[in-house]
Amino acid sequence: MDIILLERIEKLGGLGEIVQVKNGYARNYLLPQKKALRATEANKQRFEQERESLEKLNDERRTGAESDADAVAGRDFLLIRQASDTLQLYGSVTAKDIADAIIATGVDIKRQQVRLDRPIKTLGIFEVHVAIHPEVIVTVRANVARSEEEAKIQAEGGSVLPAHEQEALDEQAEAEAEAEAAAAAAAKAAEAVFEAPEKELQAMADSQGADSEGANSQGADSGGTDSGEASDSEDAAPDARGEESTDGTVAAAAEEADKANS
């Protein structure tokens, strides 16, 4: 079917263009939404008569849309939902849910302006295109979480893990902590083992030093004693020699007396 576009349609054309589309697409969407006219001769003439006013109205709408776009572009919209331990939602997040979140900020849009190919059925952050105006399209993020705490984790770049994966990570972290504690204890024990011989050697060195000092003291005392004994021996030696000389003189005198008497 040939139609005249009354506004810019993505992948089709801009205002006033005549394009060919499938009958169902024209009858079910473009014509009911007043986004196009059948390309009949009467409608062509009508469009040409109204072109200037239609273009002016389109410019005004685009200007307003650009202001709204600045208010929502790149923003996160929080959507709290219940979910299982496998992160699957009990239900889904639809284009209407996202549109309602945007409307709550004061920007008036319709569900059809949210470009969501399929409903969101898991936790996480999802980029969604929103056509504030046919010529003004922005990207927002739908932050789907079970709580504000989980939403904050996701917004900061983290991720919420399934229950069994989270438990496995917790167990791994606990095991690593225990291993680190055991390694620290082993290192401390090894350090104590190495310190013990050093302490024993120091004690032995101190003991040997004390023994050496004692031996030197005793040596000095015995040296004095030996010197005294030697002096006494030297003093006694002349007396012995004197006694021996006296005894010899007496013996000689006696021998001469015997000779005289005979």
Highest mean pLDDT among 28-42, 200-214, 220-234: 28-42
Q: Read off the pLDDT of each residue in 101-129 and give the average, rounded to a whole number.
A: 93
* % of the chain at pLDDT higher than 90: 46
**Residue 120 — pLDDT band, cuts 50, 70, 90?**
very high
Instruction: State the chain's mean pLDDT as an integer.
Output: 80
* b/e map 47-86, b = 16+ CB within 10 Å: beeeeeeeeeebeebbeebeebbeebeeeebebebebeee
The residue to which tokens 């889904």 are assigned:
92
Please report the beta strands in 44-195, taking only residues with DSSP state E, as ranges in sequence order. Answer: 76-80, 88-93, 114-115, 120-122, 124-133, 136-145
Lowest mean pLDDT among 39-48, 60-69, 183-192: 183-192
Q: Three-state DSSP class for 204?
A: helix
How far, in Å, CA of 215 to CA of 213, rounded?
Answer: 6
Cβ-proximal residues to 83 (8 Å cutoff; 6+ apart), any chain: 89, 90, 122, 123, 146
Q: Three-state DSSP class for 35?
A: coil
How far, in Å, CA of 42 to CA of 18, rounded?
Answer: 14
How far, in Å, CA of 213 to CA of 224, rounded?
Answer: 18
Domains and CATH numbers, the chain: 2-71 (3.40.5.10), 72-166 (3.10.430.100)
Q: Are 159 and 144 in contact (CB under 8 A)?
A: no
Instruction: Give the per-residue pLDDT at 206.
Output: 73
Question: In the predicted model, is pLDDT for residue 169 greater than 50?
Answer: no
How far, in Å, CA of 167 to CA of 248, rounded?
Answer: 121
Question: In the predicted model, is pLDDT for residue 173 greater than 90?
Answer: no
Lowest mean pLDDT among 185-189, 198-202, 221-225: 221-225
Amino acid, single-letter form, for residue 234: E
Question: In the predicted model, is pLDDT for residue 144 greater than 50?
Answer: yes
Question: In the predicted model, is pLDDT for residue 168 greater than 60?
Answer: no
Quick: pLDDT tens for 231-259: 454 454 445 455 445 555 545 555 665 56
Q: Are 132 and 113 in contact (CB under 8 A)?
A: yes
> What token pair was written down for 70?
């600045």
Number of Cβ within a 10 Å radius of residue 29: 14
**Residue 148 — pLDDT band, cuts 50, 70, 90?**
very high
What is the distance between the terminal CA atoms of the chain, rounded to a whole angstrom?
193
Q: Are strands 76-80 and 136-145 parallel, antiparallel or unpaired?
A: parallel
Burial (CB count within 10 angstroms: exposed 0-12, middle 13-18, buried 19+), residue 94: middle
Q: Read off the pLDDT of each residue in 20-44 and give the average, rounded to a whole number.
A: 93
Instruction: Give the per-residue pLDDT at 192.
Output: 67
Instruction: Give the per-residue pLDDT at 161.
Output: 66
